[in-house]
Structure 1
Amino acid sequence: MSEVIFIGAGPGDPELITIKGQKAVRHADVIIYAGSLVPEAVIEDRRADAQVFNSATMDLKSIIETMREATENGQTVARVHTGDPSIYGSIREQIEELDKLGIPHRVIPGVSSFVASAAALQREFTVPGISQTVICTRMEGRTPVPDLEKIDLLASHRASMSIFLSVGMISKLVEKLTKHYPLHTPVAVIQRASWPDQKIVKGMLADIAQKVKDENITKTAMILVGDFLGDEFENSLLYASHFTHEYRKGNNEHPTN
């Protein structure tokens, strides 16, 4: 059956595409992949006769036309996006056009760069006593953001933040964040998380902008902000000996501190 399959390729490491996504790539007749962000190694397990298109050089009209021609010929299309396609993946506009044409489609999720960045740091966004909320957002640039989602308003929650597509505006970002976060708030910038040339820069809001400039990081980087990156935290109740749930009975001994 001909269809278009949107696939989250993961953050860059070819082994971080899901098994289901890899199978879809392996069996596809036509592959359209985001070549500016997805390494070709992710799709190297494709069929020898598969047609490959790099969407970095295509606009929406040409992408949809390629999908239409392929499906009309009974072919399956793998549309390979970086990370997870539901986050800054621009799949909604493609799906809308496919619906107009009556072309079947489905989505296979992937590993987003924001969780790959946390993995690189070996940190947890939702640390008990520190933060139980994760905000994924971006700075306003050529693409605007709604007024209620401006960085300085989101920063007022002091939650764990993952900031996409904004490292080129790091100084302006810090200015907005420090309206609510203290200058000593830890920050980490991860460029090309999970790639062989992954680079990690750690600091505080007080010095991160200069550190990023010194490392000449201008794009393809995730910015993580919040006290979850620090050394102070509380242990989860999940594994506490006195905490009971349906799978485990507690020992009725509560901690003394």
Structure 2
Amino acid sequence: MIYFIGAGPGDPELLTLKAHRLLKQADLVLYAGSLVPLQVMDCCREDAVKVDSAPMVLEDIVAMMTDYHQRGKLVVRLHTGDPSLYGAIGEQMEALDKLGVPYEIVPGVSSFLAAAAAVKREYTVPGGSQTVIITRLAGRTPVPPEQSLAGLARHRGSMAIFLSVGMARRVQEELLQGYDAATPVAVVERVSWPEERVVQGTLGQLARLIEEAGITRTALILVGDFLVSRGRSLLYDAGFVHGYREGE
């Protein structure tokens, strides 16, 4: 079997139990070297073949996975975070489907979840935002016009912006078309890594904060009132009735 595995945001202890078990069993581990910390690779067997896929193209990756599979080896394709978010696994799965090669996906902890933990906030605040928008700014990878950052900002939900910190001024300009300049922001660099950094301020300061911190990649931009708002859930309110508790 070939397993597409989410390595989580970086901390090896945030690997799922299933991911950890499969890494220990794998004969071949193809990993995204620019994004997966070496500490995660320490979970692999010493005699496992470990290959950094950063310099490889799709055809090379598929050929290597298929070769090991045909030899009866256990193959792990290790992506960061959760493979379903900006994981580029679709074209790999399509190629394997055409070859009739079986595979399974093992989800992982996404960096946007680890980022919320790092700033000690919840995206969905009782009495506040109940919507989380996960998106990115258009760059070399296009974004549909109807999903522009400026358009999404008008919803004023809680937002986690991937793969855009290197275009901070454009991010700020588009967000200001929907959010107020005083809207709280946080930039979380290398979340859960030993060198994790969190920079916080307001949307009006966003580009300057990023530039002054020297953050150019591997960072999430969080936007929204959830960064300062707290609410009280009805779930644990004494007067709230549900199937497991009578209200007072």
Q: Give the shorter-chain TM-score range.
A: over 0.9
The equivalent residue for 2:238 is 241
The alignment partner of 1:57 has SS state of coil
Tell me how far apart the structure 2 counterparts of residues 46 and 207 of structure 1 sit (CA, whole Å). Answer: 43
RMSD after superposition: 0.8
Count the aligned residue pairs.
248
Tell me how far apart the structure 2 counterparts of residues 45 and 14 of structure 1 sit (CA, whole Å). Answer: 8
The runs of at least 4 aligned residues of structure 1 exceeding 4 Å deviation read none
Q: How far apart are residue 233 of structure 1 and its match?
A: 3.4
Q: How far apart are residue 234 of structure 1 and its match?
A: 2.6
Counterpart residue type for residue 65 of structure 2? M
Tell me how far apart the structure 2 counterparts of residues 92 and 172 of structure 1 sit (CA, whole Å). Answer: 28
Unmatched segments (≥5 aa) in structure 2: none
The equivalent residue for 1:158 is 156
2:62 pairs with 56, 61, 64, which one?
A: 64
The alignment partner of 2:167 has SS state of helix
TM-score (norm 1): 0.95
Tell me how far apart the structure 1 counterparts of residues 115 and 49 of structure 2 sit (CA, whole Å). Answer: 32
The equivalent residue for 1:204 is 202
Q: How far apart are residue 76 of structure 1 and its match?
A: 1.1
Spell out, residue by residue over 1:187-233, the C-alpha distance to the aligned partner (whole angstroms, 9 max, x if none): 00000000000010000011121111001001100000000001x33
Tell me how far apart the structure 1 counterparts of residues 171 and 127 of structure 2 sit (CA, whole Å). Answer: 26
The equivalent residue for 2:18 is 20
Spell out, residue by residue over 1:108-141, the C-alpha distance to the aligned partner (whole angstroms, 9 max, x if none): 1000010100000000000012100000000000
Unmatched segments (≥5 aa) in structure 1: 252-257
Q: How far apart are residue 46 of structure 1 and its match?
A: 1.5
Q: Map 1:192-231 onto structure 2 (within 5 A).
A: 192-230=190-228
1:49 pairs with 47, 50, 65, which one?
A: 47
Q: How far apart are residue 48 of structure 1 and its match?
A: 2.3
Counterpart residue type for residue 76 of structure 2? A
Q: How far apart are residue 68 of structure 1 and its match?
A: 1.0
2:174 pairs with 173, 176, 183, which one?
A: 176
| Percent identity between the two aligned chains | 53
The equivalent residue for 2:9 is 11
Tell me how far apart the structure 2 counterparts of residues 240 and 168 of structure 1 sit (CA, whole Å). Answer: 44
Q: How far apart are residue 45 of structure 1 and its match?
A: 2.1
